[in-house]
Amino acid sequence: METALIIVDVQNDFCEGGALGVSGGADTAAAITAYLRDNGWKYAAVLVTQDWHIDPGAHFSPEPDYLDSWPVHCVAGTDGAELHPGLAPVVKAGALTATFRKGRYEAAYSGFEAILADPEAEVPGTTADAGEALDGAEGESLPEWLNTRRIHAVDIVGIATDFCVRATALDAVRARFDTTVLPRLTAAVHPATVPTVLGELRRAGVTIDEDA
């Protein structure tokens, strides 16, 4: 069975020093890179997702509750939306197969809402005309991409365990992929909730690999 690794939202704004940095974000980026160095051979594809916001409405708030609303983060074309430098060895080694972006005009927690980025497209300088020029605006969705390549299993890592990793894993199961989360290669917004989140994922049919 062909398996893909999905690296969820390991971006500057979600790591320490970013607009919505979580504790352990940079360490997670480094740990994923180390994991791929030893285990990349297991995967038919290595994919990354990125939050890539233009105008996500109430997802951005000046008074965020950190559950449904958040500070401005991962704005399309900004440094905060770029992959964290801890993943640079993976990028330079050519280990990444494809990049998928999500959340242009909505929250889009799940990587399964993301569409394939077009590396040739130009990112505009302002949000006013961003919709027409953004990477992959009419691209292939992540589940379409996996199905076309007959990939039937996904391992999921990244940020944040309790939000975008969780949502991606739940959607992967709903889409009938054999789904595994590697929690040691994730970081959470609310670490105290992680046992509850992992329990929810197990009940939904996700395998939790505590040893990876």
pLDDT of amino acid 124:
39
Query: Distance between alpha carbon 70 and the CA centroid of its chain, in Å?
Result: 17
Q: pLDDT value at position 1?
A: 79
The per-residue pLDDT for range 175-197, each reduced to its tens digit, is 999 999 999 999 999 999 999 99
Q: What is the set of active-site residues?
A: 9, 102, 164
Structure tokens at 37: 């160095």
* Predicted pLDDT of residue 156: 98
**CA separation, residue 36 to residues 47, 50, 94, 175, 187 (Å):** 12, 19, 12, 25, 17
Residue 138 is predicted with a pLDDT of 62
Which residue(s) pair with 49 in the sheet?
8, 100
The ranges of the chain with pLDDT < 70 are 119-138
Phi, psi dihedrals of residue 115, rounded to the nearest 5°: -125, 155
Looking at residue 130, its pLDDT comes to 43
Two structure tokens written together for 158: 């990244």
For residue 80, the 8-state DSSP code is G
Q: In what order do the strands lie in the sheet with 45-51?
A: 115-116, 98-102, 45-51, 3-8, 153-159, 178-187, 207-208
Judged by phi (left if over 0) then psi (alpha if -120 to 50, else beta), residue 137 lies in alpha
pTM for this one? 0.92
Query: What residue ranges do the domains of the chain occupy?
Result: 3-208
Architecture of the 3-208 domain: 3-Layer(aba) Sandwich (3.40)
pLDDT for residue 154: 98
pLDDT for position 120: 52
pLDDT of residue 139: 84
Among 44, 63, 181, 60, residue whose Cα is nearest residue 111: 181
Q: What pLDDT score does 132 carry?
A: 42
**Phi-psi sector, 136: left (phi>0), alpha (psi -120 to 50), beta:** left
